[in-house]
Structure 1
Amino acid sequence: MKIDFANLQLQHQMYKDEIETAVKNVMNKCNFIMGEEIDILERSLEKYTSVKYAITCGSGTDALLLAFMAADIKPGDEIITTPFTFISTSEMIALLGAKPVFVDIDEKTYNIDPAKIEKVITLKTKAILPVCLYGQPADIDEINKIARKYNLKVIIDGAQSFGAEYKGIKDSALGDIAITSFFPAKPLGCYGDGGAVFTNDELLAQKLRSLRIHGQSKRYHHKYIGLGARLDTIQAAVLNVKLSHYQKDLELRREVASRYTKVLSGKDLILPYIANDCNSAWAQYSIRLKNRDEIQTKLKENGIPTAIHYPVPLHLQECMSYLGYKKGDFPISEIISNEIMSIPMNPYVSDKEMKYIANLL
């Protein structure tokens, strides 16, 4: 048996006619930049998330950079975040000349541990950046309490968690600013790069809209130093179709995760833990095991693809060495990075495939 990790081909076939019609409409109108599909998508995202303002952009990485710029992050400022995530989280902080300040993660959720945040706050700290890893929101109430105490912004990296919920609230609505990614393999993915920024603050929304189009206040009048970070109209057309089916796909992801947990329980593995007050988007189904490399090789030989998210924590990455962290500084992140492995996760994993994976494990 050969199993597809994300099964994007099957999803495309399911929505092919709708997507091709939507894309052809854009081509026929030739409104490739900031066409009407962008506005339609943004209004639909606002309705889905119950956030007042959704501002689309070129990628999840662009979304992070725009969020930091809108929050007026400057060189020398500090942002507290997690070392156990994808590089873009800290990369965009560093790109602005600000400093990522790492805090270790909770061993069960793999998200930033709020109990460790307060001790690293300094006069230079401007924001806290929790990552909703693998689709599960961080402990936002505790993080918000700390942020209010020290007058800090909370910027949610929801690149993997669009549609996830914390105490009944969509993760896009949880911080001062939240971002997501529409990279093809994300729970809601387009057919290239794409992202969005969310806020309930009207002034921040106005600034974000300007920043993504070179800081323009009106054509050829520039209020800010900005970016060329618009979402392509064709990608918006794809997302408009996929968003209309998204809740159904999200529920299927949750069913797949539930069935995985059932068939894998009792084996010598550590399975994903979801906090009682959270509802995950299940971007990944990630297990922990001691002999990961050996198991990964065996699974590959038997047609089962796997992925490691993430093998090297950010504090040990060469590009972050200037921060002065060393091995042992964030022991939980280091342990998890050596044990974590993601198995095929998409809305369409069949019982037959699941049993095959479970038996091999």
Structure 2
Amino acid sequence: MTIATGTVPTGAGVCLTPPPIPLLDLKAQYLGLRDEISQALHEVAHSSTYVLGPRVKEFEKAFAAHVGARHCIGVNSGTSALHLALIAAGVGPGDEVITVPMTFIATTWAISYVGATPVMVDVDPVTYTMDVDQVERKINSRTKAILPVHLYGQPAAMGPLLKLGRRHGIPVIEDAAQAHGARYQDAGAGTLGHSGCFSFYPGKNLGAYGEAGAIVTHDDQIAARLRSLRDHAQSQRYHHDEIGFNYRMDAFQGAILGIKLRYLEAWTEARRRLAASYLDRLADAPLQLPTEALDRRHVWHLFVVLHPERDRLRDALEARGIGTGLHYPVPVHLQKAFAHLGHHEGDFPVSERIARECLTLPLYPEMTEAQQERVVEALRAVFREEQV
């Protein structure tokens, strides 16, 4: 198979290969914020308050307001957020939590951490979020929580899920790790259920410069317990009321996130414009394109297409200088770590198809029109020249 790569002529008559288009460009984002970030880090260092402290409190207050929650509790990762949220919901050994296999594995790690069992339902073939119709038949006396995932930046069908949870007396905990600023109808993702869990891993729409996460809730008592649990379960210094954790957010991350939060809405709108452009320009391509449900605001953390020859397509794009990603190539129920659940290939066909065919195209707020043009043209060239 012959791969053609584009070139750019220079004034001296020499043709140069254009720079690759990355899947994500964190450096470009940093360069636009460098002075503000440097000043904030200097202020934290000068204060000598490195764990929690005023910068974390300021960010918690601002993020709660941004998503529309009463409380935000900053922690050290999105995984820790999920873990504490399950504890605060009363989930423990012997319990079951209904979730999905098409997710990053941290969703199910948290269930295992509390000694509970992940019970899987497949995802909807259009939105790739929890298939509500499959949930009720998995509910039994051991079910203590429902944990939908707002995958790729689109909220799950929270209305029907909350109705189902209320009918059975089961809390709904939102994995909103990829859904900063997303909305279901008129409510912010993460604010509809018992609690909502966010990740601020560097590649997220709102990313730290390291690990960080948060839990949001409207409930004063839940918030108080979460603040205690993240800080060694201290009711007062050196007095520990239960088994706690060192899940505190550090002050540098709080400062960085506080600055970046000011730009999140503009970045989200840029993502939405880029996604709309992809959807328009690739409408006739032999790909299954993602869909934004009418009652939801998708924030396009990832732009994921499906193709039956995904690996060939990925290799051909890579040869043309286009970076891509796989989110996620092995669904949770087929991971070796969860072999004890007894699942087999074919148990969740929609998730398995997404895993086989998913390909993430470059999309980030700093992406230029020219860069997106190169991605689209590279795709068209692959389909035209290589019969992929």
TM-score scaled by structure 2?
Answer: 0.92
Q: Does 1:282 align with 2:300?
A: yes
Distance in 2 between the 1:5 and 1:182 partners? 18
Map residues 22-41 of structure 1 onto 2, 5 A cutoff: 22-41=40-59
Describe the SS at the equivalent of 2:338: helix
Q: Does 1:11 align with 2:66?
A: no
Distance in 2 between the 1:172 and 1:140 partners? 10
Aligned residue type for 1:161:
A
Q: Is the 8 A contact 2:21 2:322 kept in 1?
A: yes
Q: Is the 8 A contact 2:55 2:254 kept in 1?
A: yes
Aligned residue type for 2:185:
K
Q: Is the 8 A contact 2:22 2:324 kept in 1?
A: no
Q: 1:42 aligns with which of 60, 64, 82?
A: 60
Q: Does 1:138 align with 2:156?
A: yes
Matched residue, 2:144: 126
Distance in 2 between the 1:249 and 1:319 partners? 36
Matched residue, 2:372: 354
Aligned residues: 361
Q: Does 1:188 align with 2:206?
A: yes
Q: CA deviation at 1:264?
A: 1.1
Structure 2: which 5+ runs fail to align? Answer: 1-17, 380-388
Aligned residue type for 1:77:
D
Distance in 1 between the 2:32 and 2:223 partners? 35
Matched residue, 1:95: 113
Give CA deviations for 1:319-360 in whole Å, capped at 9, x if unaligned.
001011111111111111111110111012222121211122
Structure 1 range deviating more: 112-121 or 29-38? 29-38
RMSD, aligned α-carbons: 0.8
Structure 1: which 5+ runs fail to align? Answer: none
Q: Does 1:66 align with 2:84?
A: yes
Give CA deviations for 1:121-154 in whole Å, capped at 9, x if unaligned.
1100000000000000000000001101110010
Q: CA deviation at 1:79?
A: 0.3
Matched residue, 2:182: 164
Aligned residue type for 1:4:
P
Q: Does 1:199 align with 2:242?
A: no
Matched residue, 2:38: 20
Distance in 2 between the 1:12 and 1:320 partners? 38
Q: Does 1:54 align with 2:53?
A: no
Distance in 1 between the 2:130 and 2:65 partners? 29
Q: 2:240 aligns with which of 192, 202, 222?
A: 222
Matched residue, 2:382: none
Q: Is the 8 A contact 1:306 1:343 kept in 2?
A: yes
Matched residue, 1:258: 276
Q: Does 1:305 align with 2:312?
A: no
- After the TM superposition, list the runs of 4 or more consecutive aligned residues in structure 1 that deviate by more than 3 angstroms: none
Distance in 2 between the 1:183 and 1:357 partners? 25
Structure 1 range deviating more: 106-115 or 88-97? 88-97
Aligned residue type for 1:184:
P
Q: CA deviation at 1:4?
A: 2.0
Describe the SS at the equivalent of 2:112: helix
Q: CA deviation at 1:114?
A: 0.3
Give CA deviations for 1:165-195 in whole Å, capped at 9, x if unaligned.
1102110211111010000000000100000
Distance in 1 between the 2:190 and 2:109 partners? 21
Distance in 1 between the 2:48 and 2:229 partners? 24
Describe the SS at the equivalent of 1:153: coil
Q: Does 1:272 align with 2:290?
A: yes
Matched residue, 2:6: none
Matched residue, 1:295: 313
Distance in 2 between the 1:174 and 1:282 partners? 20
Q: Is the 8 A contact 1:189 1:239 kept in 2?
A: yes
Q: CA deviation at 1:303?
A: 1.2
Describe the SS at the equivalent of 1:197: strand
Aligned residue type for 2:176:
G
Matched residue, 1:109: 127
Distance in 1 between the 2:91 and 2:202 partners? 29
Distance in 2 between the 1:324 and 1:198 partners? 34
Distance in 1 between the 2:121 and 2:108 partners? 12
Q: Is the 8 A contact 1:263 1:355 kept in 2?
A: no
Q: Is the 8 A contact 1:80 1:117 kept in 2?
A: yes
Aligned residue type for 1:202:
D
Q: Is the 8 A contact 1:210 1:224 kept in 2?
A: no
